[in-house]
Amino acid sequence: MASFPTLSTGSIACYPLTRTVSMDTTVHQFENDTEQRYRSRKELVGLELVFENVRTTDWTLIQTFFDDHDGGFAPFEVTVNGIMYSNCVFVDDSLSKTEVNHGYVSGTVRIRQLK
């Protein structure tokens, strides 16, 4: 499985970095109005990677990785703060960037874990 690219600075994104966690819960309700709840799958992570004032070459690397993975259809791995998240895909159908200075851009990439 391919890994999300690293910037020329050695990190995968700038900060702030937003990490969300989701879990499915199954609830059984009984006739006496008591409930039994349990997790029906492991927790899944969503990441919002912020890129502020990164080199255009770094953004091109991310865009190429996005294009090579057919947007959100081909899973990949991403490592954040030493934790590897596998089976990740892009949330959005395209990536957008804003040029902030000559040779530097800003943009946001949203990723979610499938399983």
The model's pLDDT over 60-102, given as tens digits with 9 standing for 90+, comes to 999 999 998 876 678 999 988 888 999 999 998 888 899 988 9
The rounded distance, in Å, linking the Cα atoms of 1 and 100 is 33
Distances (CA, A) of 69 to 1, 23, 28, 41, 101: 11, 26, 39, 26, 28
Is the pLDDT at 41 greater than 70? The verdict is no
pLDDT of residue 1: 80
For 113, the token pair is: 């874990």
List the domain boundaries for the chain.
Answer: 14-113
Burial of 39 (0-12, 13-18, 19+ CB in 10 A): exposed
pTM of the entire structure?
Answer: 0.75
**Mean pLDDT confidence for 36-65:** 86
Please, which residues bridge with residue 14 across strands? 50
| Average of per-residue pLDDT values in the chain | 85
